[in-house]
Copies of this chain bind each other. A is one copy, B any other.
Amino acid sequence: MSAPSIRARVRAEMIGEIKAVARRHLATDGANLSLRAVARDMGMVSSAIYRYFPSRDELLTALILEAYDALGDAVEAADAAADPRDLRGRWHAACRAARGWALAHPAEYALLYGTPVPGYAAPDDTVGPAQRPPLTLVGILRDGLAAGAITPPPAEELPAPVRADLAELAEAFFPGLPEALLARGMAGWTQLFGLISFELFGRINRSMAHRDAYFDHQIRLMADLVGLPARPQVPSEE
């Protein structure tokens, strides 16, 4: 006997279908998701949606959560698929995975990293999934440090208050990680986000024809900055 009743199962299916239709609308119509349009597409009346989601914002939150997880999955999977000792390979794979997901799901990426919706406040359960991509990047640095392939930058380059903030952050996620290395990891994450956003929001399209290669080059620059060693084999690939 299935513990969830028939009603609970059809309810779960409804929630899933609403999210699917909403995601489709998001992809075509942009960020201004219309509850009524979603309801229409499902042959329902708008008020019926409220049986499943208490408000439009809650629907958006559900989509945001799923998007964070999808992006996190993509980045972590790309990192895990690479040779663990090939730090640059992992770095590039993770960054490319993030860009690839963003290009494949531009509307959802905009939902995550675009302008915050005016009245909308991200609930606390989004912060965990949101941290997965940067944690993946910094994790590569931690592994490199543990393997002796990365020499940590001197902590003296950090102003004291920044160092304190970073120490607290490192304590929570990567105990023992040098603060200056964490700062560089965050620089890499910031750059990755900026690159993807520029490309997706159309600030680079006019001037750059070969965007894949441009992205790779910029990621390479950041890999240099964070101190990743050169790859043992030939660096050229696709």
Q: Are A203 and B130 in contact (CB under 8 A)?
A: yes
Q: Which of A108-148 contact B (CB under 8 A)?
A: 110, 113-119, 122, 127, 130
Number of interface residues of A (CB under 8 A): 53
Give a binary string over A32-63; 1 marks a CB under 8 Å from any B CB, 0 the rest: 10000000000000000000000000000000
Does chain B have a CB within 8 A of A12?
Answer: no
Prevailing SS type, chain A contact patch: helix
Question: Which of the candidate stretches A2-10, A79-87, A91-99, A182-190 sits at the interface with the other chain?
Answer: A182-190
Q: Are B169 and A207 in contact (CB under 8 A)?
A: yes
A31 to B117, CA, bound (A): 8
Residues of B near A209 (CB, < 8 A) are 161, 165
Q: Are A183 and B115 in contact (CB under 8 A)?
A: no
Contact among B31, B159, B195, B206 for A217, CB-based, below 8 A: B159
Does chain B have a CB within 8 A of A221?
Answer: yes
Q: Which of A175-217 contact B (CB under 8 A)?
A: 183-184, 186-187, 190-191, 193-195, 197-198, 201-203, 206-210, 213-214, 216-217
Does chain B have a CB within 8 A of A151?
Answer: no
Residues of B near A13 (CB, < 8 A) are none
| A residues in contact (CB < 8 Å) with B | 29-32, 110, 113-119, 122, 127, 130, 157-159, 161-162, 164-165, 168-169, 183-184, 186-187, 190-191, 193-195, 197-198, 201-203, 206-210, 213-214, 216-218, 220-222, 224-225
